[in-house]
Every structure is written in C-alpha cells, then in structure tokens.
Amino acid sequence: METQILIEQQLIELKNDQSFLGRRLIYTVQNLAAGASDSVVFRVENPRIARVDSLGVVWPEGAGTTYVVATLWNGKATAKCKVAVTDANEYKFRLILKDKGVSDYPIGQPLKFLSAKAIERRRKQNIAIDATDLPISSAYLRAIEAVGGKIVAKSKWLNTVSVHCEDQFLIDQYKALPFVKDVVKVWQGKKSAVTAAKYVDAPQTATNHTVQTTFDYGSATDNISINNGQVLHQQGFKGAGIDIAVIDEGFIGLKNNSTFKNINIKGAKSFVFENDDPYSIGSHGVEVTSCMAINLPGKYVGTAPEANYWLFRTEDGSSEFPVEEDYWVAAAEYADSVGVDVINSSLYYATSYGLDYGRYKFEDMDGKTAMSSRGANMAASKGILILNCAGNDRSWVGAPADAPGVLAVGSVSYKKELSYFSSWGITVDGRMKPDVMAQGGNSSVIGADGAQKNSSGTSFASPTLCGLVACLWQAFPKLTAAELREVVRQSGDKASKPEVPFGYGISDMQQAMKLSATRTAGR
C-alpha cells in the first residue's frame, strides 16, 4: 500500500498578535516500509502569512490564508493543512495606475463629468478641458473591486485609487492587475466595531447679503485690520458669489451652532472612510471656518461673511497616515467638479506620519513630490485659488504649502511680529515659503461651543487671508487665479525685497485693489 501522511487538522486558525503562541501539527505516517525513516520536512507555501519550524509548530506572520505542506523525507508522501491567520488590523493601499483607461465619457460633453459652474470657471480663465478632467475608467474600478476590498478614494488627476481591506496580501493581486504600476500601503489600524449612521447632506441657505459696509468686527477686529481688509467691505465686497471650500479635520456641530446660522453652506462631505459625517467630529474646522464666515456685528465678523461655503473633512484625527493626502486630493477634485473658486486648507503634511516610509523629508519639498502638492498644483491649473497654512513647526513648510500653485500663509501677531511657531524656509527648488503673512498668533476664533476664544496657529492666518482674497476676487472678477496669486504677493509689505521668514510679507488689501485695477484696466 502507498505511504501516506495524515494530518489531523484540516484548518489551523492563528491570531497575529504578540501574545499568540504557535500551534503544532498533529500527524501520522501510514504504510511506512519496514526500517524506513518517518522524518517529515515542513514548509509554508506563503511564508509572509505563516512560518513553520522543524517540529511542525506553525507561527503567524501576517493576515491571510496559506497552506503548510508536510513531505516525507524521501519525497514519497505529502499532505497539506490550511492555515488562516487573522489580526486586529485593517489596511489601506494606494494603487498607482499606468493610465486611467478608456473613459466612459466623451471629452466634448463636459457636463457629464463637471458642473456648469466648473466649466464656466475654466471658460473665464481660458483653461481648456482636457484628459485630466476625465474620470478613471469604470472598467478599471470594477477590476479593482473584483480583487477585494473597498475603494475609498480615487484621483482622476493623479491616476490613483485607494482601497480599504482586511487582507494585507491582496497587495499582490492588486499589483498583478495589468493597468497598475505600483501599490503602496498608506494606512493600517485596528478594526472598528462601530458602524456610523449614513450621513445625508442638506445645504443651509441663509439671507446674509446686506447693504451694510461698515462693521463693528467685535473680537475679530485685529484679524482683519492686520491686512487692511476692512477697505474691501467698505466698498461692498464681502465675498458674495464666491464659493469657498474649507478642507479640514471636521466641523462638529457646526450646523447646530447658532453663531453659524446666517452663513450659506452649499454642501458638506467627509472623505474619511471610517465616518462620512463631516459634522460629527473635529472642532478645528469650526474654528477655521469662523475666521471667514461668521457675520455677527458687535460680536464677530469674519473676512468673507457673504461667501458660499463647502465644508470637506479629510483629516482622521485618530491617527496620522498618508491616506489623508488621498482624501485631500479627492476633496480638491470634488471641489473643482462642483465649481468652487477658492480652497482654504489649514492642514499640512510633513514628518508626523505613522508609517516611517511615508514621512516626508526636506528633500521632498520641491512642490511636485508630495501627493497633496501635486493635487494642489492640478487644482490651481483648473483655475482654483488655493491658500494653505505654512505649518507650525518653525522649520521648512510641509505639503501642500510647498506647491508653486499654492499661497502658503505664515503667521504674525497683532503687533505684526513673526509668530514663534510659524514655519518658513527655501524649498528644494529655490522658492521662498511662506508667500505672505496674516494674523495667526493669538487670533480670535469662534469654537464649537459658539464662544469666542483666542487660538494660535498658521491654521487661522490662512482662512483670515483667504476670506479677504475671496472678497478681492469679487471686486475684480476678471482676474485669473494665477493673477490673483501674484497680486496678493505683490501687495505684501516686503514685496520690494522678499525675505524669509516673511516671504512677500503682510498683504495689504488696499494695495491689492490698486494692483488689481491696474491689471484689469481695459478688459
């Protein structure tokens, strides 16, 4: 009779954690010839999932399924046992595509993939609709989903698709797809047992356009006067007709906050996979938005109280992983598609990522390496004006503030002195950052509880100036986004001799209006 190895276990289940011990295979050898050795050699088909020692003890290595193969020393008998390894982690991968395939839409019918307002922005600035505007092929997306996992972000500008899955070794199957160039891990974390209710968005419409041109700014007086922003309001330019997207951490309770009741919110969206409710978590976005949007004379008036707002959550406050840049780019693309004019981003990405290989170095700050920087440059090329905080590390600025298409905003105090925390430096390719300055030191903001407080950070300098620039664009709608960036720079008090750490200095809106009038004369 034929020699056989019989393994008692059909399946060995292991948990990949530090407390888990290996599990030994129980086997017998039958019909062995007299005097023959019953020694068995073990191996694992996928050693990234499990390992086995010479005694047949199986140990976990990574989540997934594989087989342990037992072979008689002379090769005359083999047997297999399935091994399933689970762990407490889930994963997100960024698939970098070779191309985005055959589009589902003809480029000559842009209303199928862009809003009328987005098309009009391009028309006004003489920007052609091109292949970068076309979505990724649905056939590609179906092929990715067929491998497993769930698509959580995608970028038609950068040709990337980000997926969430429980099996880290799906990376092999993603890489095997013929249209995938590379796959990188951008997040890992514990499985969440909490399932949030599905968020259904509802715009907030308010009647906030008035003839009032003189304001008691209340506690926000210093915020606006640093940049001489009141001159815009005095001439009736308060942001009406300008759509501003706020890309931030979250906007907890903002729509139930009485101080925000008279602002126009066109829409809100969370791009974070674990929670799609932008109003359920995160107070930072509330404070940032207050710098622009609130209109409560005598208490607090922001810098663009009559603008329209889109509120986008891209930051996962529970961790720091590169997937947040995937969310950031997805939000910027969404902002473009709905016709946003201006983006304020009080976020930056530098050295704080939870994955060692995902952390940026100074050498990466060339304005074209970081994912968010590349996305910001693309948004700028579509005619969107982007302001981003310079960062609070008092060192080189992070992404996407390093991008040439972004106005990086540093912080000064109400005395117009450099804030100790404000980041600055020369980028790898020789550009000065920040570009301009506004008040972020001891800045007045409204918190999630509706109360006024003072907070410090370039996070507040950026939206304060952003609101003013929106008002400036309302005053001079014939300016392109690129021209507006240059006007804001040239209106700085150090424009004649830019220098770090101030860049072009503190922008003056009265000077900006003069420069804008000169640029648009005769148009």
Q: Give the range of the structural domain holding residue 58, as residue numbers without chain letter.
A: 4-86
Q: Evaluate whether residue 495 is within a structural domain.
A: yes
Q: Evaluate whether residue 31 is within a structural domain.
A: yes
Total Cβ atoms within 10 A of residue 208? 18
Q: Evaluate whether residue 202 is within a structural domain.
A: no
Half-sphere exposure of 427 (CA within 13 A, CB side): 26
Note the pLDDT of residue 212. 80
Q: Evaluate whether residue 211 is within a structural domain.
A: no
C-alpha 188/C-alpha 174 separation (Å) is 17
Total Cβ atoms within 10 A of residue 80? 14
Contacts of 400 (CB under 8 A, 6+ apart): 328, 345, 348, 349, 370, 372, 373, 375, 376, 386, 388, 406
Q: Position 174: which residue type?
A: Y
- Are residues 165 and 104 part of one domain? yes
- Are residues 363 and 345 part of one domain? yes
CA diameter of the chain:
105
Q: How many domains, the chain?
A: 3
- Are residues 248 and 163 part of one domain? no
Q: Bridge partners of 184?
A: 94
- Are residues 77 and 112 part of one domain? no
- Are residues 94 and 82 part of one domain? no
C-alpha 364/C-alpha 426 separation (Å) is 12
Note the pLDDT of residue 88. 75
CA–CA–CA angle 102, 107, 108 (5° rounding): 140
- The CA distances from residue 342 to 355, 430, 484, 496, 523, in Å, are 31, 26, 11, 27, 22
Q: Evaluate whether residue 24 is within a structural domain.
A: yes
Q: How far is CA 274 from the centre of its chain?
A: 14
- Are residues 127 and 181 part of one domain? yes
Crossing angle for the helix pair 116-124 and 323-338, nearest 10 degrees?
80
- Are residues 357 and 261 part of one domain? yes
Contacts of 462 (CB under 8 A, 6+ apart): 288, 344, 345, 346, 387, 388, 389, 409, 438, 440
- Are residues 171 and 155 part of one domain? yes
| Domain boundary pick from 68, 86, 104 | 86
| Domain boundary pick from 16, 51, 86 | 86
pLDDT per residue of the chain (523 residues) written in tens, 0 to 9: 788 999 998 999 988 776 667 899 999 999 988 888 899 999 999 998 999 999 999 999 887 889 999 999 888 899 999 999 887 788 999 999 999 999 999 999 999 999 999 999 999 999 999 999 999 999 999 999 999 999 999 999 999 999 999 888 899 999 999 999 999 999 988 877 655 668 999 999 988 888 888 889 999 999 999 999 999 999 999 999 999 999 999 999 999 999 999 999 999 999 999 999 999 999 999 999 999 999 999 999 999 999 999 999 999 887 889 999 999 999 999 999 999 999 999 999 987 766 666 788 899 999 999 999 999 999 999 999 999 999 999 999 999 999 999 999 999 999 999 999 999 999 999 999 999 999 999 999 999 999 999 999 999 999 999 999 999 999 999 999 999 999 999 999 999 999 999 999 999 999 999 999 999 998 8
C-alpha 55/C-alpha 504 separation (Å) is 70
Six-digit token string for 104: 């589902």
Pairing mode, if any, of strands 308-313 and 300-301?
unpaired
Note the pLDDT of residue 266. 97
- Are residues 183 and 235 part of one domain? no
Six-digit token string for 513: 């209006």
Q: What is the CA radius of gyration of the chain?
A: 28
Note the pLDDT of residue 356. 64
CB of 208 within 8 A of CB of 263? yes
Q: Position 35: which residue type?
A: G
CB of 461 within 8 A of CB of 446? no
Q: How far is CA 248 from the centre of its chain?
A: 8
- Are residues 476 and 464 part of one domain? yes
| Domain boundary pick from 52, 86, 120 | 86
Contacts of 405 (CB under 8 A, 6+ apart): 376, 377, 379, 380, 381, 386, 485
C-alpha 391/C-alpha 399 separation (Å) is 9
Ramachandran assignment for 329, one of left (phi > 0), alpha (psi -120 to 50 degrees), beta (any other): alpha
Q: Evaluate whether residue 207 is within a structural domain.
A: no
- Are residues 102 and 79 part of one domain? no
Question: What pTM was estimated for this model as a whole?
Answer: 0.88
Which residue carries 């400036």 as its tokens?
A: 472
Note the pLDDT of residue 89. 84
Question: What CATH number does the domain containing 178 carry?
Answer: 3.30.70
Question: What CATH number does the domain containing 340 carry?
Answer: 3.40.50.200
Question: What CATH number does the domain containing 48 carry?
Answer: 2.60.40.60
H-run or E-run covering 6: strand 4-7
Q: Bridge partners of 507?
A: 492
Q: Evaluate whether residue 197 is within a structural domain.
A: no
Q: Evaluate whether residue 215 is within a structural domain.
A: no
- Are residues 160 and 76 part of one domain? no
Which residue carries 């309770």 as its tokens?
A: 253
